[in-house]
Chains A and B, each alone.
Chain A
Protein backbone atom coordinates (compact mmCIF):
# COMPACT_ATOMS: atom_id res chain seq x y z
CA UNK A 1 0.00 0.00 0.00
CA UNK A 2 0.83 3.73 0.01
CA UNK A 3 1.58 4.16 -3.68
CA UNK A 4 1.88 7.61 -5.20
CA UNK A 5 1.91 8.15 -8.94
CA UNK A 6 2.81 11.14 -11.07
CA UNK A 7 1.84 11.98 -14.60
CA UNK A 8 3.54 12.64 -16.88
CA UNK A 9 6.90 11.12 -16.03
CA UNK A 10 8.57 13.56 -18.38
CA UNK A 11 7.44 16.53 -20.42
CA UNK A 12 9.00 18.96 -22.83
CA UNK A 13 7.31 22.29 -23.42
CA UNK A 14 8.08 25.53 -25.16
CA UNK A 15 8.95 28.67 -23.28
CA UNK A 16 5.86 30.68 -22.41
CA UNK A 17 3.46 27.76 -22.29
CA UNK A 18 1.94 26.14 -19.21
CA UNK A 19 2.26 22.56 -18.13
CA UNK A 20 0.27 20.57 -15.58
CA UNK A 21 1.67 17.74 -13.47
CA UNK A 22 -0.63 15.36 -11.62
CA UNK A 23 0.06 13.59 -8.36
CA UNK A 24 -2.23 10.80 -7.22
CA UNK A 25 -2.38 8.61 -4.16
CA UNK A 26 -3.52 5.28 -5.56
CA UNK A 27 -4.50 3.28 -2.51
CA UNK A 28 -4.98 5.75 0.29
CA UNK A 29 -6.53 9.10 1.01
CA UNK A 30 -3.96 11.84 1.29
CA UNK A 31 -4.91 14.71 3.51
CA UNK A 32 -1.68 16.49 2.73
CA UNK A 33 0.42 16.51 -0.41
CA UNK A 34 3.82 18.10 -0.90
CA UNK A 35 5.58 19.36 -3.98
CA UNK A 36 9.35 19.38 -4.23
CA UNK A 37 11.79 20.58 -6.80
CA UNK A 38 15.13 18.95 -7.38
CA UNK A 39 17.90 20.41 -9.51
CA UNK A 40 20.54 18.09 -10.95
CA UNK A 41 22.73 16.56 -8.29
CA UNK A 42 21.06 18.58 -5.57
CA UNK A 43 18.68 17.92 -2.75
CA UNK A 44 14.92 18.25 -2.71
CA UNK A 45 13.56 21.67 -1.96
CA UNK A 46 10.02 21.90 -0.64
CA UNK A 47 7.94 24.20 -2.80
CA UNK A 48 4.54 23.97 -1.19
CA UNK A 49 2.22 21.98 1.00
CA UNK A 50 -1.37 21.43 0.01
CA UNK A 51 -4.34 20.21 1.96
CA UNK A 52 -7.48 18.97 0.30
CA UNK A 53 -10.01 21.71 -0.21
CA UNK A 54 -7.82 24.57 0.93
CA UNK A 55 -5.18 26.84 -0.51
CA UNK A 56 -1.64 25.63 -0.70
CA UNK A 57 1.02 26.95 1.63
CA UNK A 58 4.07 28.04 -0.32
CA UNK A 59 7.61 28.11 0.96
CA UNK A 60 9.48 31.37 1.02
CA UNK A 61 10.76 32.35 -2.38
CA UNK A 62 8.32 30.22 -4.37
CA UNK A 63 6.11 32.24 -6.70
CA UNK A 64 2.47 31.40 -6.06
CA UNK A 65 1.30 32.76 -9.38
CA UNK A 66 3.85 30.78 -11.30
CA UNK A 67 3.42 27.44 -9.57
CA UNK A 68 -0.29 26.88 -9.17
CA UNK A 69 -1.26 24.03 -6.88
CA UNK A 70 -4.70 22.54 -6.66
CA UNK A 71 -5.67 19.78 -4.24
CA UNK A 72 -9.20 19.10 -5.37
CA UNK A 73 -9.69 15.70 -3.82
CA UNK A 74 -8.15 13.39 -1.26
CA UNK A 75 -6.33 11.50 -3.98
CA UNK A 76 -5.28 14.17 -6.47
CA UNK A 77 -3.10 17.24 -6.41
CA UNK A 78 -1.92 19.13 -9.46
CA UNK A 79 0.99 21.48 -10.03
CA UNK A 80 0.72 23.85 -12.98
CA UNK A 81 3.83 25.67 -14.08
CA UNK A 82 2.56 28.79 -15.81
CA UNK A 83 4.44 30.69 -18.48
CA UNK A 84 7.31 28.27 -18.20
CA UNK A 85 10.88 29.39 -18.82
CA UNK A 86 14.06 27.36 -19.29
CA UNK A 87 15.07 28.04 -15.69
CA UNK A 88 11.94 26.14 -14.60
CA UNK A 89 13.43 22.98 -16.06
CA UNK A 90 13.82 20.61 -13.17
CA UNK A 91 12.72 17.36 -11.60
CA UNK A 92 9.44 17.80 -9.73
CA UNK A 93 8.51 15.27 -7.08
CA UNK A 94 5.32 15.04 -5.10
CA UNK A 95 4.64 13.19 -1.90
CA UNK A 96 1.63 12.48 0.23
CA UNK A 97 0.84 11.42 3.72
CA UNK A 98 -2.15 9.76 5.25
CA UNK A 99 -4.48 11.42 7.66
CA UNK A 100 -2.72 12.01 10.98
CA UNK A 101 0.38 10.39 9.59
CA UNK A 102 3.88 11.69 9.57
CA UNK A 103 5.48 9.57 6.90
CA UNK A 104 5.57 10.86 3.36
CA UNK A 105 5.19 8.57 0.38
CA UNK A 106 6.93 9.83 -2.70
CA UNK A 107 5.93 9.75 -6.32
CA UNK A 108 8.40 8.77 -9.05
CA UNK A 109 8.92 12.36 -10.18
CA UNK A 110 8.33 14.35 -13.36
CA UNK A 111 11.17 15.63 -15.49
CA UNK A 112 10.26 19.02 -16.98
CA UNK A 113 12.33 20.47 -19.79
CA UNK A 114 11.45 23.93 -21.10
CA UNK A 115 12.94 24.79 -24.48
Chain B
Protein backbone atom coordinates (compact mmCIF):
# COMPACT_ATOMS: atom_id res chain seq x y z
CA UNK B 1 0.00 0.00 0.00
CA UNK B 2 1.10 3.51 -0.66
CA UNK B 3 0.71 6.58 1.45
CA UNK B 4 1.61 10.24 1.37
CA UNK B 5 2.28 12.50 4.32
CA UNK B 6 2.28 16.24 3.94
CA UNK B 7 3.69 18.00 6.97
CA UNK B 8 1.69 21.05 7.91
CA UNK B 9 -1.89 21.62 6.89
CA UNK B 10 -1.09 25.32 6.56
CA UNK B 11 2.10 27.12 5.62
CA UNK B 12 2.36 30.88 5.80
CA UNK B 13 5.02 32.91 4.01
CA UNK B 14 5.56 36.51 3.10
CA UNK B 15 5.58 37.59 -0.50
CA UNK B 16 9.10 37.14 -1.86
CA UNK B 17 10.05 34.52 0.72
CA UNK B 18 11.07 30.95 0.07
CA UNK B 19 8.26 28.43 -0.21
CA UNK B 20 8.87 24.93 1.15
CA UNK B 21 6.07 22.37 1.22
CA UNK B 22 7.01 18.98 2.58
CA UNK B 23 5.96 15.61 1.26
CA UNK B 24 7.05 12.16 2.36
CA UNK B 25 5.81 9.00 0.75
CA UNK B 26 5.68 5.33 1.43
CA UNK B 27 5.83 2.89 -1.44
CA UNK B 28 7.05 -0.66 -1.84
CA UNK B 29 7.87 -0.10 -5.49
CA UNK B 30 9.56 2.75 -7.34
CA UNK B 31 7.01 5.53 -7.29
CA UNK B 32 5.83 8.17 -9.63
CA UNK B 33 5.43 11.41 -7.66
CA UNK B 34 3.31 14.43 -8.40
CA UNK B 35 2.52 17.87 -7.04
CA UNK B 36 -0.84 19.43 -7.86
CA UNK B 37 -2.27 22.84 -7.05
CA UNK B 38 -5.93 23.53 -6.43
CA UNK B 39 -7.53 26.95 -6.38
CA UNK B 40 -10.88 27.38 -4.61
CA UNK B 41 -13.73 25.50 -6.26
CA UNK B 42 -11.53 24.29 -9.07
CA UNK B 43 -9.99 21.02 -10.16
CA UNK B 44 -6.36 20.11 -9.85
CA UNK B 45 -3.57 21.46 -11.99
CA UNK B 46 -0.35 19.54 -12.34
CA UNK B 47 2.68 21.51 -11.15
CA UNK B 48 5.34 18.91 -11.77
CA UNK B 49 6.02 15.20 -11.74
CA UNK B 50 8.84 12.77 -11.19
CA UNK B 51 8.91 9.46 -13.02
CA UNK B 52 12.47 8.47 -13.75
CA UNK B 53 15.77 10.17 -14.50
CA UNK B 54 16.81 13.49 -13.03
CA UNK B 55 15.78 13.77 -9.41
CA UNK B 56 15.41 17.54 -9.48
CA UNK B 57 12.24 18.32 -11.34
CA UNK B 58 11.20 21.75 -12.52
CA UNK B 59 7.58 22.61 -12.99
CA UNK B 60 5.33 25.48 -13.88
CA UNK B 61 5.17 28.85 -12.13
CA UNK B 62 8.75 28.59 -10.85
CA UNK B 63 8.19 25.54 -8.65
CA UNK B 64 10.58 22.64 -8.37
CA UNK B 65 10.87 19.47 -6.34
CA UNK B 66 13.61 17.01 -5.58
CA UNK B 67 13.11 13.27 -5.29
CA UNK B 68 15.23 11.90 -2.47
CA UNK B 69 14.91 8.16 -2.34
CA UNK B 70 16.96 7.77 0.84
CA UNK B 71 14.63 10.17 2.65
CA UNK B 72 11.47 9.04 0.80
CA UNK B 73 10.75 12.69 0.24
CA UNK B 74 9.55 14.92 -2.59
CA UNK B 75 9.48 18.43 -1.14
CA UNK B 76 8.17 21.32 -3.23
CA UNK B 77 10.03 24.61 -3.30
CA UNK B 78 9.86 28.02 -4.90
CA UNK B 79 12.55 30.65 -4.31
CA UNK B 80 10.21 33.63 -4.10
CA UNK B 81 6.53 33.45 -3.23
CA UNK B 82 3.96 35.46 -5.12
CA UNK B 83 0.49 36.39 -3.93
CA UNK B 84 -0.97 34.30 -6.72
CA UNK B 85 0.68 31.19 -5.26
CA UNK B 86 -1.85 31.13 -2.42
CA UNK B 87 -3.74 27.86 -2.93
CA UNK B 88 -4.00 24.27 -1.74
CA UNK B 89 -1.17 21.97 -2.75
CA UNK B 90 -1.41 18.22 -2.95
CA UNK B 91 1.38 15.71 -3.18
CA UNK B 92 0.48 12.38 -4.78
CA UNK B 93 2.11 9.06 -5.48
CA UNK B 94 1.20 6.45 -8.03
CA UNK B 95 1.92 2.80 -8.15
CA UNK B 96 3.59 1.90 -11.40
CA UNK B 97 2.04 -1.53 -11.26
CA UNK B 98 -1.46 -0.11 -11.02
CA UNK B 99 -0.65 2.40 -13.65
CA UNK B 100 -2.04 5.80 -12.90
CA UNK B 101 -3.96 5.29 -9.68
CA UNK B 102 -3.08 8.18 -7.43
CA UNK B 103 -2.89 8.34 -3.67
CA UNK B 104 -3.06 11.90 -2.39
CA UNK B 105 -1.75 13.53 0.72
CA UNK B 106 -4.10 15.60 2.86
CA UNK B 107 -2.96 18.81 1.26
CA UNK B 108 -1.19 21.95 2.45
CA UNK B 109 -2.77 25.36 2.25
CA UNK B 110 -0.21 27.97 1.29
CA UNK B 111 -0.96 31.43 2.61
CA UNK B 112 1.01 34.37 1.21
CA UNK B 113 0.98 37.69 2.99
CA UNK B 114 2.05 41.00 1.49
Please report A residues at the B interface, Cβ cutoff 8 Å: 4, 6, 32, 34, 42-44, 46, 49, 91, 93, 95, 97, 101-109, 111
Q: Which residues of A contact B102 (CB under 8 A)?
A: 34, 44, 46, 104
Are B43 and A108 in contact, with the CB atoms below 8 A?
yes
Tally of contact residues, B, Cβ under 8 A: 22
Please report B residues at the A interface, Cβ cutoff 8 Å: 32, 36, 41-46, 49, 51, 90, 94, 96, 99-107
Once A42-B106, A102-B51, A102-B94 are accepted as A-B contacts, the answer to whether A108 and B100 lie under 8 Å apart by CB is: no
Report A81 CB to chain B, min CB distance, Å: 18
Which of B41, B96, B105, B106 makes the CB contact (< 8 A) with A109?
B41
Which residue of the partner chain B has the closest CB to A2? Answer: B46
Once A32-B100, A43-B107, A46-B101 are accepted as A-B contacts, the answer to whether A103 and B49 lie under 8 Å apart by CB is: yes
Report B61 CB to chain A, min CB distance, Å: 17
Which of A101, A109, A111 makes the CB contact (< 8 A) with B100?
A101
Q: Which residues of B contact A101 (CB under 8 A)?
A: 100
Q: Which residues of A contact B90 (CB under 8 A)?
A: 43-44
Are B106 and A111 in contact, with the CB atoms below 8 A?
no
Please provide the 8 A-B residue pairs with the shortest distance between their CB atoms, ordered closest to farther.
Answer: A106-B43, A106-B44, A108-B43, A102-B100, A43-B104, A43-B106, A97-B100, A109-B43
Roughly how many angstroms separate A4 CA and B94 CA in the complex, as a whole number?
A: 20
Roughly how many angstroms separate A24 CA and B45 CA in the complex, as a whole number?
A: 17
